[in-house]
Amino acid sequence: MAGPRSRHEQVAAELRQRIRRKDYAIGQPLPTESALCAEFDVSRGPVRQALATLKNEGLIRVSRGKPAVVRSHDATQTLDTFTPFTQWAERVGRTAGNRTIEVARRRASETAVEALGLTADDFVVEVLRVRLLDGEPAMIERSTFIDSVGSLLFDFDTDSGSMTDYLASRGVYFDSMEHVLDAVAAGPDDAANLGIEPGSPLLRERRVSRDQHGVVFECADDRYRPDVVTFSIVNARTKFSPAEQT
C-alpha cells in the first residue's frame, strides 16, 4: 500500500490533472510561484519541486524569472533517462495495462542477428504486446531477447505488469540503451491492435539494451500512437573550462 503523498507530489498531481484536462492552453502560463504557494498553502520548495517534475514529464517549459508555460497536454516519455513504461505511467498519473499477443521462442531474424550479435542458427524469445494507458491502446511493443534472458519470461505472466521489473528480480538489469526514433505508417495488424486506421502515422522507437555487464540482450521496436504519447529529449549545453574553449 502506498504511503501518503508528499506536498510537492500533491501539487504536481493537481497541476498535472489541470493540464491534462486542458484547463490551460498550449503556450499559456501557469500561475506564478507566489500564487501557487498561496493556493496550496506551501513554501516555494514544494512548488519548485512540483514544477520540476512536470518539466521532466514534458508538460511545461520553465524559464528563470517567468511563470512556467504549458508545452503539451499529452503523456510524454523522455529519452534522457530510462523509465519503464509501467513506472512512467504511474508517475504521470495514468494506469498502465498490457495485452499480450504472443510470447514465442524461434530462430533469430535478420534484424535480431545484427542487433544482438547472433547467428541465424541462434534462438531468441520474442514478445509482442499492446501497451495500454487508462485502458486505451497506446503502443505496440515488439521485444526480442537473447535466449538465456528471454526464456526467463516463460515463468512470468506478461499481462500482469512490467517485464523490466521482473527481469530485474531475476538479476538482469537494463543498464544502458541506444535509441533511434522515426515515423512509420501503421500496417493492418498494428492498426487493428491500436484501434486506428491502416496507414495512420506512428512514432517508432527502436532500441538496443545492454545489461549491467555491458552485454547486449534485447532489441525492441515500439510503435506509439502520437495522439496518446509523445517524446521529449532533454539536452544541456556542454560546459567547457576556459582552457578548453577556442
Given a contact cutoff of 8 angstroms between Cβ atoms, the answer to whether 60 and 76 are in contact is no
Q: Answer with the one of 27, 52, 70 that is the final residue of a domain.
A: 70
Nearest residue to 129 via CA among 117, 137, 119, 118:
137
Per-residue model confidence (pLDDT) at position 195: 95
Q: How confident is the model at residue 3 (pLDDT cuts 50, 70, 90)?
A: very low
Given a contact cutoff of 8 angstroms between Cβ atoms, the answer to whether 177 and 207 are in contact is yes
178: part of which helix (H) or strand (E)?
A: strand 176-185
**100 and 216 part of one domain:** yes
Nearest residue to 56 via CA among 86, 90, 80, 21:
80
Q: How confident is the model at residue 6 (pLDDT cuts 50, 70, 90)?
A: confident
71-80, 149-158, 160-169: range with lowest mean pLDDT: 71-80
Average pLDDT over residues 142-154: 98
Q: Answer with the one of 70, 105, 122 that is the final residue of a domain.
A: 70
22-31, 129-138, 159-168, 230-239: range with lowest mean pLDDT: 230-239
Domain, as residue range, for 34: 7-70
**95 and 201 part of one domain:** yes
Q: Look over the chain and give the mean of its residue pLDDT values, rounded to a whole number.
A: 86
Q: Answer with the one of 28, 44, 70 that is the final residue of a domain.
A: 70
Per-residue model confidence (pLDDT) at position 220: 96
Per-residue model confidence (pLDDT) at position 245: 37
Nearest residue to 77 via CA among 197, 208, 234, 200:
234
Q: Measuring CA to CA, how many Å separate 46 from each of 11, 200, 209? A: 8, 41, 35
Average pLDDT over residues 112-135: 96
Encode burial over 45-79: b for 16+ CB neighbours within 10 A, e otherwise: ebbbbbbebbbbbbbbeeeeeebbebbbbbbbbbe
